[in-house]
Amino acid sequence: MHEPWRYNYNDIKGEIERFEMMEKGGKSCYFDVQTIESLFDFFADKFQFEKAERILSIGISQHPSNPSLQSKKAVIYIEKGEDAKAIRLLEALSTIETSNPDLFMNLGFVYLRVKRNEEAVVCFQKAMKLAFEDAEDFLFEIVQYLNGNEQYKYALEFLSKELPKYPNNENLLFEYAFALEKEGRVAEALEAYEKLLEVNPFSENAWYNLGIIHIRKEDYDNAIKCYDLTLAINPSHIEALFNKGNALVAMNKYAEAIDYYIEYLSYGYETTLPYHYIADCHDQIGNIELSLRFYRLTVDSEPMYLPGWLNYLAHLINNDYMEEALEASKKALEYHSDVPEIWYLRARSLLLSDMFKEAAKALHEAFTGEPDNLRNLFELYFVQRKLSPRKDPFKMIEKWLREYPASPAVHYIAAAYYLIDNRQMPMAIKHLKVALAENPLDYELFLELFPTMENMIKKSKRLSALVNDFTPAEY
C-alpha cells in the first residue's frame, strides 16, 4: 500500500490535540480537507488505523464528494483486507483522479494481491508516468511489491528500463540482483550484487545473498567468505550463521558446522532444524550418543517434523537400539500414521526384534500406503513367506495383482515368483514387461532383491531381449 508520510508532527500538533479533545468530549469539529489528510497520514504512519478511519469518516461526512478522501478510504479497505471493495472504489476514482500517482500505486498493489498481475503492471506504469520528481521512490516501491509477490519478470522489466537513471541506488540494485537470482540468471545476479557492493561494501544483505548464489554454484569456499563478511558487518546475522554451517557440511567439515549451528541456537530462534542438522553432523562423525541426543531433541521440539523422525528411527535401527526404536516408531505413528516410510521403519525394528507377525502388519500398511514401492513389497513378501513357509504364495500375489493391477512392484514380485518358484516363462515375461514399462528404474533393485534372477535372465534370450528393450545402455 502506498501512503507516504508527508507531514511533520509539529506542523499538525494542534489539530491532533483538537481531534483527540473532540473524541473525548463527544463534540463535533470542522476540519478542512488538507487537515483531514494530514491527520489520516499521521495516524496511518503510526499504524493507528482505527484513529485514521475515524478521522476519515469525519472528513467524508463533511466533504462527501472529495475524491482525495475517498482514495484514503480505499487505503482503509486495503488494510482490512477488503480487496474487492478497495478495487471497486479505486477503479471508480481512477476515472476522476487521472493524475494521482498514489491512487494508481494502491490499485496496482491490490491487483497484485488478488493475482491480477498484468492489470497491476499497467497501474504501476501509469504511476511512474505521473511520479515526476518522486519517480525513484515510486520505482523502488513498485519493484518491492513485484518481487514480494514473486513477479520477478515484471520487476526486471521496470528495472531494466529505469535503473540506468539511478546507477548508485543500492536499494534498486538489490531488488534487481534479487530478481535476477530468482529468475535463475545467476551470472547476471552475481554481477549485480558485485555492483551493489561497489556502491556499498557494507551491505550485509548483498554479501549474504551473494553467498547463497555461490552455494547454488557449489562454490562453498566463496560462499563461506561471503558469510564471513556478512557476519563481520553484523555478527548476529543468524541466517548467515546457519548457512555457513550448511556450507561447511557440504565440505564435509561436520565438527566446524556444529559450532555454527550451536551459535545459531544461542540466539533463541527456531530449534528444530539446527537440532536435526547437529544430529546428522554427529552421525557423520561417528558420535553415536551425541547424535542420538540431538535426534531426540529434534522430535521433541516438533513432533510433526517428519524428516526428524525418519533420521532418528534410521539411526536407532542402524546402531541396534532396538528397544528405543520400537518405542520411537510407535510414537512416530501417533503423528505420521499416513506416512508409509514410518510404517516401514516400524516394521524394520519389529523384524530385528524377531516380531514377525507385527512386522507383517506394519509392512502391509507401508505397502498399501505406497503400492509402487518395490522394497516395501519385497519385505512383506519375504515376511509372509517366512510366516507361512508351506503356503504357495500364488494366492497372495494374485490378490495383490487384483487390488493393484498397475503397480510395477507387484509385477516385479510376480515375475520373480513365476521364474523362481513356478517356472512359467510366458507368465514371467508378461509381468516383467509390465514392471519394466511402468518403472524401469527399479530393475537394479529387483536384481539386488532377487540375486539369482540376473543369471536366469542372462541365460534366456527372450528375457534378455525384453530387458534390453527397456535398459539398452546396460543390458
DSSP string, 416-428: HIIIIIS--HHHH
Q: In whole angstroms, what is the distance from residue 250 CA to residue 273 CA?
A: 16
Q: How many whole angstroms from its chain centre is CA 252? A: 25
Q: For all residues of the chain together, what is the average pLDDT? A: 92
Which of 46-60, 186-200, 352-366, 390-404 is least confident? 46-60
Instruction: Specify the pTM.
Output: 0.78
Q: How many whole angstroms from its chain centre is CA 412? A: 36
The per-residue pLDDT for 182 is 94
The per-residue pLDDT for 181 is 94
Cβ proximity of 242 and 215 under 8 Å: no
- Comparing 444 with 11, the larger pLDDT belongs to 444
Position 289 pLDDT exceeds 60:
yes
CB under 8 A, 24+ apart: contacts of 192-201: 196/170, 199/168, 199/170, 199/173, 200/170
Q: In whole angstroms, what is the distance from residue 119 CA to residue 314 CA?
A: 52
- Comparing 389 with 407, the larger pLDDT belongs to 407
What's the mean pLDDT in 69-75?
A: 86
The per-residue pLDDT for 46 is 84
Q: In whole angstroms, what is the distance from residue 81 CA to residue 113 CA?
A: 10
Highest mean pLDDT among 11-20, 70-79, 198-207, 421-430: 198-207
Provide φ and ψ at 321, rounded to 5°. -95, 70
The per-residue pLDDT for 9 is 60
The per-residue pLDDT for 3 is 52
Position 305 pLDDT exceeds 50:
yes
Position 2 pLDDT exceeds 80:
no
Cβ proximity of 149 and 112 under 8 Å: yes
Cell numbers 500538533 correspond to what residue? 13
Position 297 pLDDT exceeds 80:
yes
Position 5 pLDDT exceeds 80:
no
Which of 54-63, 150-159, 277-286, 345-354 is least confident? 54-63
Q: In whole angstroms, what is the distance from residue 353 CA to residue 359 CA?
A: 9
The per-residue pLDDT for 172 is 96
Position 473 pLDDT exceeds 60:
no
As a whole-number percent, the residues of the chain with pLDDT over 90 amount to 73
The per-residue pLDDT for 27 is 72
* Helix or strand holding residue 35 (H, E): helix 33-45
Name the grid cell of 444: 537394479
- Mind listing the pLDDT tens digit for each residue in 374-391? 999 999 999 999 998 888
Q: In whole angstroms, what is the distance from residue 342 CA to residue 223 CA?
A: 36
Q: In whole angstroms, what is the distance from residue 221 CA to residue 224 CA?
A: 5
Burial class (CB in 10 A: 0-12, 13-18, 19+), 304: exposed
For residue 148, give the nearest of 193, 113, 183, 187 by alpha carbon: 113
- Give the Å distances, CA to CA, from 97 to 55, 107, 259, 465: 22, 12, 59, 76
- Mind listing the pLDDT tens digit for each residue in 106-123? 999 999 999 999 999 999
- Comparing 11 with 116, the larger pLDDT belongs to 116
Q: How many whole angstroms from its chain centre is CA 187? A: 24
CA dihedral 366, 367, 369, 375 (to 10 degrees): 80
- Mind listing the pLDDT tens digit for each residue in 306-360? 999 999 999 999 999 999 999 999 999 999 999 999 999 999 999 999 999 999 9
Q: In whole angstroms, what is the distance from residue 255 CA to residue 290 CA?
A: 12
Split at pLDDT 50, 70, 90, the class of 6 is: very low
How many CA atoms, within 13 angstroms, populate the side-chain half-sphere of residue 197?
18
As a whole-number percent, the residues of the chain with pLDDT over 70 amount to 96
The per-residue pLDDT for 73 is 86
Cβ proximity of 140 and 110 under 8 Å: no
For residue 56, give the nearest of 80, 82, 33 by alpha carbon: 33
Position 14 pLDDT exceeds 90:
no
